C-alpha cells in the first residue's frame, strides 16, 4: 500500500452510511473530496448491522433535527432510488398493543405521528390487526397502522451514494485510520495510518469513534456510549408469516423488539438495546438469543417452525443525550456529525443536506466549488428477493452461491465496479455470496477461485493507491 500525500477541500472521516452520504453531497456540490475509512471497506461500523427500515419518522421527537433529517432522507431516497436501481419493499408497519396499558398508549402514538406530519397513520382494531396479520399470536388488542414504512438494502444504498461520489471524482482510502489532526493556516493536516492529507474542511462522521476524533483537537461536546442491538435471521420461508413490520409499543428507553422482513427474503427478530463500553466488538450472546426467540414466539407462535440461519449484532453510536450531535465550528473549518444513534440509514441523505446547509451558511468561500455540468447515476446490482435477479437472466455464467442465487457474472462484475471489494465481507455485502443458510459451506471453493488474487491487486479510478 502506497503512502498518501493528498491535498483536498473536504475530508470526510468515516465510511458509514452517514459518511457516504456526506461524501456524495459535497462531491456533487463540486468540492474536491476524500473519504478516509479505517476499515477494509465502507460500513465497517454501525452501518454494517441494522434493521434496514426506511422510517417515516412517525415516532421521532416532534420538531427535532432527527425528524427533519429522517423526513428529508426518506424523501430523497424515494426520489433517487430508481435511478440508482436500489430496491424498496413496501412492508408498512403495525404497532401492536398486547395489554390494556399499551392499548391506552395508541392514541398518543397516532397523535405524535400527525404532529410529525405523517397523517396517514391511524389506529386500527384488533380485528383489523388479524385481518392484516393472521399468524400473530392471540391477544392483540389493537394497533397503529403506519402505511409509509419500507425496508431497503442497507448495504447497496450507502455503496450507491459513495459510488456516485467516486464517479464524480471523489477519492477514498480504506484501511486508513485518522490518528492525529493538526490545525494549519489552510485548514487541517491529518496524519493517518497511510500517510498525510491536507484539507480545508474536516467532516467527522466517525460513528462510535466520533468523540475520540473531536478529542484529537478539542474537548468533545458529547460522549459516545455504544448501545448494542442483537438480531436473529430466520430462513426465507418464514417471511410468509408476516406482512407488515411488527412493532411493539415503545417504552421511554427502547423501541423494543420487532419482527421484520428483509429485502433479501428473510425475516429478522430483534434488536436488543444493551449499553456497553467497547466501541468495536458487537458479539452475539446465546442467552440473549434464547430470550429473543421466546419474545418472538410470544408474538408469532409459528416462528418456532422455522430455522434460524444467522445471527448478528450492531452498535448504535448513542451518546449521553438522545438527539443527534451535529456541531459546526466555522473558525476551525470543522463539522462533527455525531450520535446518529438509531435512524441513520433513513436520515443519511437528509443529514448530508443539513451539513451542506451548515456549510453554505457558516463557511462562506472556504474553497471554490466546481459542480459537475451533468450528474451521472450509478446502476447498482439488484439484490432484492422481490425483484428480478441476475440468475433469471441469460448469459449469467451459472449460479455460484445456490442459497442466495448469486451468479458468476455478478461476482465478476463487482470487481469491475467503481469501488471493488477488497475483503470477503465487502464481497458478501456487494453480492450476497455466502450469506445464505449454508454460510458459504458449499460455494466457498468456487468463490475462492473467482476471487483469485484480486484482493491484492485492486486498482480503480478514484481509489488512492
Ligand atoms: C441494532 C441497530 C438497528 C438499527 N436499525 C435502523 C433502521 O432500521 N433504520 C435506520 O434508519 N437506522 C437504523 N439503525 C441506525 C443506523 O444503523 C445508524 O444510525 C448508522 O449506521 C450510523 O452511521 P454512521 O455513519 O454515523 O456510523 P458508522 O456506520 O459507525 O460509521 C463510522 C465509520 O467511521 C470509521 N472510523 C472510526 N474511526 C475512524 C478513524 N479514526 N479513521 C477513519 N475511519 C474511522 C468506522 O470504521 C466506521 O466505518 C440501527 C442501528 C443499529 C445498531
- List, for residues 386-408, the tens digit of each pLDDT value: 999 999 999 999 999 999 999 99
- At residue 5, the pLDDT reads 87
343, 60 contact by CB (below 8 A): yes
- What residue's CA is closest to ligand 1, atom 31? 16
Closest CA relative to residue 351, chosen from 326, 371, 323, 322: 326
Q: What is the CA(335)–ligand 1 centre distance, in A?
A: 17
Q: Is residue 426 predicted with pLDDT exceeding 70?
A: yes
Q: Is residue 343 predicted with pLDDT exceeding 80?
A: yes
Which atom of ligand 1 is least distant from the CA of 53? Answer: 8
In angstroms, the CA 18 to CA 66 distance is: 13
Q: Which three cell numbers stand for residue 302?
A: 409459528
Q: Is residue 383 predicted with pLDDT exceeding 90?
A: yes
- At residue 123, the pLDDT reads 98
Q: What is the CA(213)–ligand 1 centre distance, in A?
A: 15
In degrees, to the nearest 5, what angle opens at C-alpha 309 toward C-alphas 308 and 312? 90
Residue 464's pLDDT band (cuts 50, 70, 90): low
**Distance, CA of 175 to chain centre:** 20
For a mutational test of ligand 1's pocket, the pick from 43, 50, 191, 204, i.e. the residue with the most ligand atoms closer than 8 A to its C-beta, is 50
Question: Is residue 290 packed enough to be buried (19+ CB in 10 Å), middle (13-18) or exposed (0-12)?
Answer: exposed
- At residue 457, the pLDDT reads 47
Q: What is the CA(121)–ligand 1 centre distance, in A?
A: 28
What pLDDT, in 10s, does the model give residues 52-111?
999 999 999 999 999 999 999 999 999 999 999 999 999 999 999 999 999 999 999 999
Q: How far is CA 53 from CA 49, 109, 347, in A?
A: 12, 18, 11
Number of neighbours of residue 21 by Cβ within 10 angstroms:
30
- What residue's CA is closest to ligand 1, atom 12? 343
- At residue 251, the pLDDT reads 87
- The answer on 294 and 237 residing in a single domain is yes
- At residue 460, the pLDDT reads 42
Is 20 inside a domain boundary?
Answer: yes
- Is 210 a pocket residue for ligand 1 (Cβ < 6 Å)? no
Q: What is the CA(408)–ligand 1 centre distance, in A?
A: 31
Residue 3's pLDDT band (cuts 50, 70, 90): confident
- The answer on 277 and 291 residing in a single domain is yes
- Is 338 a pocket residue for ligand 1 (Cβ < 6 Å)? no
In angstroms, the CA 226 to CA 212 distance is: 13
Residue with cell 466501541: 279
Closest CA relative to residue 173, chosen from 190, 187, 156, 186: 190
Is 306 inside a domain boundary?
Answer: yes
- The answer on 309 and 200 residing in a single domain is no
Is 357 inside a domain boundary?
Answer: yes
Q: What is the CA(384)–ligand 1 centre distance, in A?
A: 22
In angstroms, the CA 9 to CA 224 distance is: 28
- At residue 454, the pLDDT reads 83
Partners of 53 in the β-ladder: 151
- The answer on 128 and 240 residing in a single domain is yes
Closest CA relative to residue 369, chosen from 381, 356, 378, 354: 356
Name the 3-class secondary structure at 334: strand
- The answer on 291 and 185 residing in a single domain is no
In angstroms, the CA 452 to CA 442 distance is: 18
144, 122 contact by CB (below 8 A): yes
CATH code: domain of residue 165: 3.50.50.60
In angstroms, the CA 340 to CA 326 distance is: 9
Q: What is the CA(222)–ligand 1 centre distance, in A?
A: 16
Number of neighbours of residue 213 by Cβ within 10 angstroms:
22
Is 80 inside a domain boundary?
Answer: no
Share of the chain above pLDDT 90, in %: 94
In angstroms, the CA 54 to CA 263 distance is: 12
- At residue 463, the pLDDT reads 57
Based on the structure, what is the number of domains in the chain?
A: 3
Is 372 inside a domain boundary?
Answer: no
In angstroms, the CA 34 to CA 4 distance is: 11
- At residue 453, the pLDDT reads 79
Kind plus residue range of the DSSP H or E element containing 191: strand 187-192
Is 368 inside a domain boundary?
Answer: no
Q: What is the CA(317)–ligand 1 centre distance, in A?
A: 7
Residue 364's pLDDT band (cuts 50, 70, 90): confident
Q: Please give the average per-residue pLDDT across 268-297, as a whole number.
A: 96
Strands 33-36, 4-13: pairing is parallel
55, 265 contact by CB (below 8 A): no
Q: Is residue 432 predicted with pLDDT exceeding 50?
A: yes
Q: What is the CA(396)–ligand 1 centre distance, in A?
A: 34
In angstroms, the CA 297 to CA 44 distance is: 32
Closest CA relative to residue 401, chosen from 371, 445, 357, 366: 445
Number of neighbours of residue 397 by Cβ within 10 angstroms:
13
DSSP calls for 19-67: HHHHHHHHHHHT--EEEE-SSSSS--SGGGSS--EE---TTSPTT-HHH
Residue 324's pLDDT band (cuts 50, 70, 90): very high
- Is 37 a pocket residue for ligand 1 (Cβ < 6 Å)? yes
In angstroms, the CA 358 to CA 360 distance is: 6
Q: Is residue 465 predicted with pLDDT exceeding 70?
A: no
21, 203 contact by CB (below 8 A): no
Q: Which three cell numbers stand for residue 11?
A: 475530508
What pLDDT, in 10s, does the model give residues 212-256?
999 999 999 999 999 999 999 999 999 999 999 999 999 877 789
- Domain of residue 168, residue span: 4-50+155-224+321-362
Is 407 inside a domain boundary?
Answer: yes
Chain mean pLDDT for the chain: 96
- Is 207 a pocket residue for ligand 1 (Cβ < 6 Å)? yes
Residue with cell 430470550: 291
Partners of 338 in the β-ladder: 325
- The answer on 271 and 236 residing in a single domain is yes
- The answer on 134 and 244 residing in a single domain is yes
- At residue 344, the pLDDT reads 98
- What residue's CA is closest to ligand 1, atom 21? 47
- At residue 461, the pLDDT reads 41
- The answer on 24 and 132 residing in a single domain is no
Is 303 inside a domain boundary?
Answer: yes
Q: Is residue 456 predicted with pLDDT exceeding 80?
A: no
Amino acid at each position: 500500500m502506497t503512502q498518501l500525500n493528498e491535498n483536498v477541500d473536504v475530508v470526510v472521516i468515516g465510511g458509514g452510511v452517514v459518511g457516504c452520504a456526506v461524501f456524495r453531497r459535497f462531491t456533487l456540490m463540486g468540492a474536491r473530496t476524500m473519504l478516509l475509512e479505517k476499515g477494509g471497506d465502507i460500513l465497517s461500523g454501525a452501518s454494517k448491522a441494522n434493521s434496514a427500515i426506511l422510517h417515516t419518522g412517525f415516532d421521532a421527537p416532534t420538531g427535532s433535527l432527527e425528524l427533519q433529517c429522517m423526513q428529508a432522507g426518506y424523501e430523497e431516497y424515494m426520489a433517487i432510488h430508481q435511478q440508482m436501481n436500489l430496491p424498496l419493499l413496501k412492508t408498512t408497519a403495525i404497532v401492536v398493543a398486547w395489554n390494556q396499558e399499551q392499548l391506552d398508549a395508541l392514541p398518543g402514538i397516532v397523535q405524535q405521528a400527525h404532529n410529525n406530519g405523517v397523517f396517514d397513520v391511524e389506529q386500527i382494531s384488533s380485528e383489523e390487526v388479524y385481518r392484516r396479520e393472521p399468524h400473530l399470536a392471540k391477544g392483540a388488542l389493537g394497533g397503529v397502522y403506519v402505511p409509509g414504512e419500507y425496508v431497503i438494502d442497507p448495504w447497496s444504498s450507502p455503496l450507491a451514494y459513495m459510488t456516485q461520489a467516486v464517479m464524480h471524482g471523489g477519492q477514498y482510502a480504506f484501511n486508513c485510520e485518522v490518528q492525529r489532526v493538526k490545525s494549519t493556516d489552510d485548514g487541517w493536516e491529518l496524519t493517518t495510518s497511510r500517510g498525510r492529507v491536507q484539507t480545508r474542511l474536516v467532516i467527522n462522521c466517525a460513528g462510535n469513534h466520533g468523540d475520540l476524533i473531536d478529542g484529537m483537537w478539542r474537548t468533545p461536546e458529547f460522549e459516545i456510549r455504544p448501545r448494542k442491538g442483537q438480531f436473529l435471521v430466520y430462513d426465507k420461508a418464514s417471511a410468509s408469516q408476516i406482512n407488515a413490520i411488527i412493532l411493539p409499543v415503545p417504552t421511554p428507553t427502547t423501541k423494543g423488539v420487532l419482527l421484520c422482513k428483509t429485502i433479501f427474503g428473510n425475516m429478522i427478530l430483534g434488536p436488543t438495546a444493551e449499553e456497553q463500553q467497547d466501541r468495536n466488538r458487537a458479539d452475539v450472546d446465546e442467552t440473549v438469543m434464547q430470550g429473543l426467540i421466546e419474545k418472538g414466539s410470544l408474538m408469532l407462535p409459528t416462528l418456532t417452525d422455522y430455522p434460524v440461519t444467522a445471527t448478528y449484532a450492531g452498535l448504535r453510536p448513542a451518546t449521553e443525550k438522545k438527539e443527534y450531535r451535529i456541531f459546526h465550528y466555522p473558525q476551525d473549518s470543522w463539522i462533527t456529525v455525531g450520535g446518529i444513534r438509531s435512524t441513520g440509514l433513513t436520515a443519511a441523505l437528509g443529514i448530508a443536506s443539513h451539513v451542506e446547509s451548515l456549510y453554505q451558511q457558516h463557511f462562506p468561500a472556504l474553497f471554490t466549488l466546481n459542480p459537475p455540468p451533468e450528474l451521472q447515476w450509478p446502476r447498482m446490482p439488484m439484490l432484492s428477493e422481490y425483484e428480478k435477479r441476475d440468475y433469471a437472466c441469460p448469459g449469467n455464467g451459472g449460479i455460484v452461491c445456490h442459497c442466495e442465487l448469486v451468479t458468476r457474472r455478478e461476482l465478476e462484475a463487482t470487481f469491475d465496479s467503481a469501488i471493488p471489494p477488497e475483503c470477503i465481507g465487502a464481497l458478501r455485502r456487494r453480492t450476497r455470496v455466502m450469506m445464505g443458510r449454508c454460510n458459504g459451506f458449499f460455494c466457498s471453493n468456487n468463490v475462492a477461485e473467482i476471487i483469485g488474487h484480486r484482493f491484492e491487486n485492486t486498482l480503480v479510478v478514484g481509489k488512492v493507491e
